[in-house]
Each structure stands twice: as structure tokens, then as C-alpha cells.
Amino acid sequence: MTVTTPAISVKHLTVILDDQTIIDDISFDVPRGQTTAIIGPNGAGKSVLVKSILGLLPSQHGTVQILGTDHKHYRKIANQVSYIPQSIEVDKNFPLTVRGLFLLKSPQRFGMSSVEEQRMNTLLKLVSMTKATTDRLNTLSGGQIQRVLLAYSLVNKPTILILDEPAAGIDISGQETIYALLQRIQEQRKLTLLLISHELDVVMRYANQVLCLNKKLLCAGLPREVLSNELLTEMYGQPVGHFKHNHA
Amino acid sequence: MMLELLLFPFFQRALITGLILGVLMAVLGVFVVLRRMSFFADAIGHSALTGIALGLLLKTDPFFAALVFALLVAAGIALLRHYSHLHLDTLLGVFFPAAVALGVIIVQLTPGFQTDLVSFLFGDILTVSNVDIVTSIIIAIVVGVILVTSGKRLLLITFNEALARSQGIAVPRYELLFLLMLAAVIAISIKLVGIILITAMIVIPAATAQNLTRSMSSMIGVSVAVSLIAVLVGMLSSALLSLPSGPTVVLVGATLFATSFLVARLRSA
């Protein structure tokens, strides 16, 4: 593996579920230390693509390499990758506190070490959730849960962070907070960020690369260069009114 | 009277086995309740009837046959779940009645089985032997080691499977392990509580704890405490009042659950 090896390399990936082609022969690279956003309409296969990259779906056609390792051997590099699924629903009776969640990531048989405890506090401070340590997850708002999960995902100091619609179900101000936080963390830690997003403004502002997906890969490149109203209309099947497109 | 009772070897055996299995059922019950798998526990319990019937028909130890059969059913369900798109409750909806139907037919074909049917269905502490104590201890050690080494992973899978998978946890392997542990504990507990009521002894302590606690560790602790109280009070009462052991233990547990429910309501009011 050389320094120039992409963080994620997808070649001719086809995903068929229940005899339906969800992803149709797509290839792309996710460069290291940058933010790549996946956009597309509902049912375009965005979440399936992410799950397929992580090897969470049955074997598919094509190859996926993460940090130079075939995703079939995902467990070897799992410690370098963190994934936050789309809006985790916490049952109101599930007795898990924020600290309890962090405990589950500790390799200690019981509890966690003082170093791990310190790291948890640092990360919760990073996402402004220090006061929530003893709160049950089901008492937190969607935005607060996402921030806790973001802190949780950084425990093992990953090099790749994959997020499936991190701001889904969160109000506008909460969305801004999440994306600003992500950008800050990405820049500070030189993380490779791969995220699914519906917010085109956010993609324009934060992403170094955008992947337009609707079963097939319709575009890949710098958002300002590849996104056009024509492409978005083709992809979403209707004009995307609020899209502010400014060519650099 | 109570002290005299404790001097009887049959009661000592039943009590020791009951307390060991009570702890195991309480801890596994937390996972069952949080994963909403009580239907699975019911299916395994009822499929054990078929194992018992097969054991009697083949003239082998019926409870050993129940243990083997329960493990096979658990492994079968885990495999089907892995390779099928069907939901667990749908698979259980097929397995559960099929296993019971097979058991009932074998019962009809086995002479003399019907006379023991009540003790198999509702438990009988007189049937607990020294071998059962040893078996319970062995299963407790195995389950204990697995829970200590893999408990955090099992809890993470319980919380969110996708999150667990993304951390490199082999979810199907741990699911199989959990189902096998549960099947083993259910099969070995049938002598005490009976096939019909086994699910109650797995679900009630954990459900009671869920009413009273707010963290995972306290839920496990309270579940164990409730289970031990139910087993101890239930078995003593059953022996003193000449009542069947399984239903008495379950009724004590249900009373504790009702109390915890009221306490939870009062707290939130």
C-alpha cells in the first residue's frame, strides 16, 4: 500500500438485492483526508452503497478496497473505520446511558480504564455533550444522539469516518451544528469523510468530491464542477429549486 | 417446618439448581427482553417437549434429548435467519407449531408418557438429581465465561446490529452463540419450571428490572436479584403449601413485576 492509495476504491460494483439491481456497475475512489459526499434521490441506493462498501451486505459483484484491503476482510481494518448508521432509533425502555455506550467499545472485560474514561470526556467535550454522560440515550434529541455517536465513532481514532445522513430528522440549526462539527473534526484529524447527504448547500460548502448516484454513478468530481441544474433535474426527476449553483 | 424442608436432599438439589439457573435465566433474560425475543424463548421451550418425547421413545434420558433437540432447533433458526430474508418471528411462527405438533404426535406414540406430562409441562422439583446440579454448574461456567468475554459485543449487537457489524463484530456468530446459550439454559430449566412457564422465568426478572433501572449494569443486577427471590420464595412456598414448583415460582415473579410496575408508575407520576 502506497501513500497515494485511495482510502476507498470501488471498481465495477453491482449490488443485486431480491433480484433487483440497486447499484449498477459503479467505480470511484475516495481520496484520503478529504470529504466525499454521496447525493441522490430516495431509493437511489446510497445507503446500500455504503453498507456494501462496509461488507454489511451479502457478497456482490465487483471489488471494494478499504485502505488497500479487500472489504471481504473488513474485520482486519474495522478498527480504522467508523460508521454512523442513519438515525439510530433508541427504544424508550433501552437502559443505555451515554457512558454505557462508550463502555461497550472498551476492550476491558468490565468497565473502562481511566485513560479511556478521559478520552470519552475529551470527545464528549469536542461535541459539547459533556453534561450528558449519565443521561440515557432515549432521553436525548436526534441531534444530541448524532453528536454522541460522532464522539463514540472517534474513540478508536479512525482514519475513515462514514456517515449515513448524519443530519436526518434534525432541525436546521441542529444540521448546521453537525456539519460544522464534522468539518472541524475532519480538518483537525485529517479524516477521510464519506457521507450521504440530501443537503446540496452542505455538499457545495464542505465536500471536496461529490458522487451523484441513482443506481448508476451519474457524476463524480468537485461539486462546483460537476453539479449542474440539468444533472440534478435528471437525477431527481424534477428541478431542484433551492440549489444555488455558482461556478468558480 | 421451613428449616426441616431445607434438610431434605431433594429440596436441597432443587434449590441449588434453581438458584444457579435463576441467575442464568435472569442474565440471558435481559438480552431476550431488550431484543424482544420472548417468542424465541417460548419456541425453544415448547420444542423441548419434542426432545423429551423423542428421548422417551428412543429410551434415552429425556432431558438430555431435550437439551440436544433445543440446541438443534436454536442452530436451525439461527441458520435460517442468516440465509433467509424472513423475519425471526415469521420463522418462529413456522418452527414453533411444527415442533409442538411433532411433539404431540410422538407423545401419542409413546406409552406411559401421558402420565408424566404434567411434570414436564409445569415442572417437578422431585425430579431434580445430582446430575442436574453438575450439568447446571457446567452450563453456568460455560455461559459465564462467554458472557464475561463477549458480553459487551452481545450488548452492542442488541443495541444496534449495523453499528456492531461496522466495528468488525461477527454478528451471526455471536447470535448463534447467544441462541445456543439460551437453548441450553431453557432445556436444563424445564425440570424445575416446566415447558409452559419457562419463558416467564426468562422474561419476568428482566422486565421487572427494566421497570426499576436506568443503566444496563443495574438492569442485569436487579434482574438477577428478582430471579433469585422468585426462585427462593417460590420453591419454599411450593413445598410448604404442596403446590407445583413452576407455577409458584412464576407467580412470585409476576407479583414482583406487578409491584415494580406500580413503583415505576408512581415514580413517573
**Is A207 part of a structural domain of the chain?**
yes
Instruction: Identify the pLDDT of residue A152.
Output: 94
**Is A41 part of a structural domain of the chain?**
yes
Name which of B212, B216, B167 is nearest A96 in CA terms: B216
Whether the pLDDT of residue A141 is over 60: the answer is: yes
**Is A247 part of a structural domain of the chain?**
no
**Euclidean distance between CA atoms B219 and B41, whole angstroms:** 19
Looking at the complex, does the CB of residue B165 fall below 8 Å from at least one CB of chain A?
Answer: yes
**Euclidean distance between CA atoms A47 and A41, whole angstroms:** 11
The mean of the pLDDT values for chain A is: 87
The mean of the pLDDT values for chain B is: 88
Using a CB-CB cut-off of 8 Å, the residues of chain B touching A84 are 163
Tell me if A106 and B218 make a contact (CB, 8 A cut-off): no
**Is A139 part of a structural domain of the chain?**
yes
B256 burial type by CB count under 10 A (0-12 exposed, 13-18 middle, 19+ buried): buried
Q: What is the DSSP string of chain A?
A: --TTS-SEEEEEEEEEETTEEEEEEEEEEE-TTSEEEEE--TTSSHHHHHHHHTT-SS--EEEEEETTEEGGGHHHHGGGEEEE-SSPPPPTT---BHHHHHHTT-SSSSS--HHHHHHHHHHHHHTT-GGGTTSBGGGS-HHHHHHHHHHHHTTT--SEEEEE-TTTT--HHHHHHHHHHHHHHHHHHT-EEEEE-S-HHHHHHH-SEEEEEESEEEEEE-HHHH--HHHHHHHHSS--TT------
Tell me which long-range contacts B64-71 makes (C-beta under 8 A, separation of at least 24): B66/B187, B66/B190, B67/B183, B67/B184, B67/B187, B67/B188, B69/B187, B70/B44, B70/B183, B70/B184, B70/B186, B70/B187, B71/B180, B71/B183, B71/B184, B71/B187
Mutate to test the interface with B, among A104, A138, A165 (most CBs of B within 10 A): A104
Instruction: Identify the pLDDT of residue A92.
Output: 82
Give Cβ neighbours of residue A26 (< 8 Å, ≥ 6 apart).
Answer: A10, A12, A13, A14, A49, A213, A216, A217
Compare A127 and A66 and report the one with higher pLDDT: A66
Rg of chain A, C-alpha, whole Å: 18
Question: For chain A, what is the domain count?
Answer: 1
Whether the pLDDT of residue A137 is over 70: the answer is: yes
Among candidates B85, B162, B170 on the partner chain, residue whose Cβ is nearest the Cβ of A56: B162
Of A119-123, A130-134, A238-242, B132-136, the poorest mean pLDDT is in A238-242
Residue pLDDT, tens place only, A157-191: 999 999 998 877 677 777 777 888 888 888 888 89
C-alpha cell at B234: 417460590
- A12 — phi, psi (to 5°)? 50, 45
Directed axis angle between helix B62-83 and helix B38-57, to 10°?
A: 130
For residue A247, name the pLDDT band (cuts at 50, 70, 90): very low
Percentage, residues of chain B above pLDDT 70? 97
Rg of chain B, C-alpha, whole Å: 18
C-alpha cell at A20: 433487483
Instruction: Identify the pLDDT of residue A240.
Output: 67
**Euclidean distance between CA atoms B79 and A137, whole angstroms:** 32
Whether the pLDDT of residue A239 is over 60: the answer is: yes
C-alpha cell at A108: 476491558
Domains of chain B: 2-268 (1.10.3470.10)
* CATH number of the domain that residue A178 is part of: 3.40.50.300
Query: Side-chain half-sphere of B186: how many Cα atoms within 13 Å?
Result: 39
Whether the pLDDT of residue A7 is over 70: the answer is: yes
Q: What is the average per-residue pLDDT within B169-184? A: 92
Residue A35 Cα, gap to closest chain B Cα (Å): 20
Compare B227 and B190 and report the one with higher pLDDT: B227
Instruction: Identify the pLDDT of residue A248.
Output: 40
**Is A163 part of a structural domain of the chain?**
yes
**Is A200 part of a structural domain of the chain?**
yes
Among candidates A56, A109, A136 on the partner chain, residue whose Cβ is nearest the Cβ of B165: A56
Tell me if A93 and B170 make a contact (CB, 8 A cut-off): no
Tell me if B166 and A82 make a contact (CB, 8 A cut-off): yes
Compare A234 and A144 and report the one with higher pLDDT: A144
ipTM: 0.83
Using a CB-CB cut-off of 8 Å, the residues of chain A touching B214 are 95, 97, 136
Whether the pLDDT of residue A243 is over 60: the answer is: no
The segment with the largest mean pLDDT, out of B98-102, B117-121, B143-147, is B143-147
**Is A74 part of a structural domain of the chain?**
yes
CB B156 within 8 A of CB B163: yes
Whether the pLDDT of residue B232 is over 70: the answer is: yes
Instruction: Identify the pLDDT of residue B1.
Output: 63
Give Cβ neighbours of residue A221 (< 8 Å, ≥ 6 apart).
Answer: A209, A210
Whether the pLDDT of residue A25 is over 90: the answer is: yes
CB A23 within 8 A of CB A11: no
Among candidates A81, A106, A136 on the partner chain, residue whose Cβ is nearest the Cβ of B214: A136
Using a CB-CB cut-off of 8 Å, the residues of chain A touching B149 are 109
Whether the pLDDT of residue B106 is over 90: the answer is: no
* Helical segments of B128-215, H only: 130-159, 161-166, 171-193, 198-212
Looking at the complex, does the CB of residue B219 fall below 8 Å from at least one CB of chain A?
Answer: yes
Give the type of residue at A31. P
Percentage, residues of chain A above pLDDT 70? 93
Of A61-70, A116-125, B114-123, B157-166, the poorest mean pLDDT is in B114-123
Task: Residue count of chain A, please give it.
Answer: 248
Say which residue the cell 449519565 belongs to: A134
Compare A171 and A235 and report the one with higher pLDDT: A235
**Euclidean distance between CA atoms A194 and A153, whole angstroms:** 13
What is the residue range of A217's domain? 8-236
**Euclidean distance between CA atoms A180 and A202, whole angstroms:** 10
Name which of B236, B221, B231 is nearest B253 in CA terms: B231
